[in-house]
Structure 1
Amino acid sequence: MKNSILNNYSIHNLETIATQIRRDIVRMVHACQSGHPGGSLGCTELFVALYFEVMNRKEGFDMGGMHEDLFFLSNGHISPVFYSTLARVGYFPAEELATFRQMNSRLQGHPTTHEGLPGIRIASGSLGQGLSVAIGAAQAKRLHGDKHLVFVLMGDGELQEGQIWEAALYAPHNKIDNLIAIVDYNGAQIDGSTEQVLSLGNLYAKWHAFGWDVLEIKNGNDMISVVDGLREATSRSRRQKPVVVLLHSEMGNGVDFMMGTHKWHGAAPNDEQLAAALAQNAETLGDY
């Protein structure tokens, strides 16, 4: 939240938070032997930058989200990074992360709303829907005179869904300029590389042709680059065009054996692999 201690963190402190969140991710997925660590690790810097530095948030949580920036996760399978970030920023106790994917837990494999988990405003995981939801929220803010922004994250493999491109046409046509869409451009999906499964072609040219203001963050796992890129995106808002950020990230970032492969898209580490992952990410904020 602007004018809050949350925006006074140095880059070093943001990186320290990211290290703990990576620990949380691998521990959560290991404990239940289920989940999606690869994309979660790849987006850790993005989530930390958004929630601890860039977004203008209110204290507490309400579903309406008036008079604050909103975030929607479209590729809901990377819920581990979302849950850990929400806990570490104070929406609920970090100890609850231990219930990830357990029966009757509020932390289901894909985020849902009926459990009433603070920070979650939509159920997601059925891919392709988040951009449409974000557009609706952005329009609602304009109708209510709310000057805040709406952010949404999509996976690059998710762009193979047709609904994304219907929404991508709609937003520029209606000059929805309080919207910042982010694409996790890691080039990998569950069955292999996006190039092999269904090539995305020139994403920059595609979004530009649809009428979006397009910018790229070339190193989506460098905290300074991510913070600066998101700040640039917010500075380009409210100029009669929606903004899209192509975030070049590395799936599995921060755990060497999970990087450079799609195989950790939806696989859990065993005990030995967990120990190796934790050895690369020191405990900084205290494990749950």
Structure 2
Amino acid sequence: MKQYTDLELQLKSVKYRKALLKYIKLAKAGHTGGDLSCTDILNVLYNDVLNVSPDNISDPNRNRYIQSKGHSVEALYVVLADQGFYPESDLETLCQYKSKYVGHPTRKIPGIEFNTGALGHGLPISAGIALAAKRDKAPYNVFTMLGDGELAEGSNWEAAMMAAHYKLDNLVAILDHNTLQITGHNYEVCDPNPIDEKFAAFGWEVVSIDGNSISELRKTLHNIPAKTGKPTFVIANTTKGKGVSFMEHVKKWHHGVPSDEEYKAAIEELTLAEDALSNQLIES
């Protein structure tokens, strides 16, 4: 796996954000806000933590990643393309007739472990895989990413109890905690708080970080398990719509396609960020 600096990964995140907006615009569909909020998490997982590639995706001892918040699949598609699982140009067919690149993860796409999108399924699946690894004495870890609105699904809490009972310290759940869902703030729809205390009470080791900080993500996700004998729950505090100022903290971008004018403004803003980071790399 290539070794990147924090600055190089920050630049990758900006490029990923530009690409996912491009394909959402072409498809006229996508979960823009959640894609933008979780981009840094996916970036760090695939470029620094998982060590999963087209060359080793069939290795039974590979690390596993399952995206429970499957509606934010555009970000995952862009990252997998960058890893070489398929040409990025494939994404020009996103959500088009007969395309396999649909609006939720599917195993028809190289690099995707499980079909997801029905919320509340990713954590139970991941806990089952982690338990299998323990019983097989296999060395791999299992990572999953949940949406915070997804915590209203009871299956998460059944899985949380089971994972702690079996001491699955090879399991890492990352919460994309951007605090917004399609109809409003989580506390208005179905308040999940206090999330940290609830998962701690279920027997997990809980870590809270800035989920849009490359350095914090790297430090945390390399420190697994956070405590031996316990599954790790990472509350990644993120910004919905991260990177595009007029999309940040705005619920309408949960599922929204930018107009031509909005798309132009978003790309211009991201290009400025890209240029600034590129200049920092040249100077460093």
User: What is the TM-score with the length of structure 1 in the denominator?
Assistant: 0.91
Tell me which of 201, 211, 223 is aligned to 1:220.
Answer: 211
Give 1:67 shift: 1.2
The equivalent of 2:21 in structure 1 is: 26
Tell me which of 218, 231, 245 is aligned to 1:242.
Answer: 231
CA distance in structure 2 between the aligned counterparts of 1:261 and 1:180, rounded to whole angstroms? 29
**Residue 73 (structure 1) aligned with residue 62 (structure 2):** no
Give 1:59 shift: 4.5
The equivalent of 1:127 in structure 2 is: 119
Give 1:106 shift: 2.0
Give 1:171 shift: 0.5
Give 1:235 shift: 4.5
CA distance in structure 1 between the aligned counterparts of 2:113 and 2:149, rounded to whole angstroms? 23
Aligned residues, how many? 273
Structure 1 stretches of 4+ with a deviation exceeding 4 A read: none
Matches within 5 A, 1:139-288: 139-217=131-209, 219-232=210-223, 234-236=224-226, 239-282=228-271
The equivalent of 1:87 in structure 2 is: 81
Give 1:160 shift: 0.4
The equivalent of 2:282 in structure 1 is: none
Considering Cα pairs closer than 8 Å and 6+ residues apart, tell me whether 1 or 2 has the greater RCO: 1
> Which amino acid in 2 is paired with 1:279?
E
* Structure 1 unmatched ranges of 5 or more: none
Q: Deviations over 1:183-242 (max 9, x none)?
A: 11111000000011011121110000000011011x21121122122223x1426x1111
> Which amino acid in 1 is paired with 2:161?
L
* Structure 2 unmatched ranges of 5 or more: 276-284
Give 1:65 shift: 5.1
User: What is the TM-score with the length of structure 2 in the denominator?
Assistant: 0.92
1:65/1:138 CA distance change after superposition, 3 Å: farther
Identity percentage over the alignment? 35
CA distance in structure 1 between the aligned counterparts of 2:19 and 2:137, rounded to whole angstroms? 38
Give 1:258 shift: 0.5
Give 1:143 shift: 2.6
Secondary structure, aligned partner of 2:196: helix
1:257/1:215 CA distance change after superposition, 3 Å: same
Give 1:16 shift: 1.3
Secondary structure, aligned partner of 1:264: helix
The 8 Å contact of residues 170 and 225 in structure 2, kept in 1 or not, is answered as: no
Give 1:60 shift: 2.5
Give 1:269 shift: 0.5
CA distance in structure 1 between the aligned counterparts of 2:253 and 2:246, rounded to whole angstroms? 9
The alignment yields a C-alpha RMSD, in angstroms, of 1.5
The 8 Å contact of residues 66 and 141 in structure 1, kept in 2 or not, is answered as: no
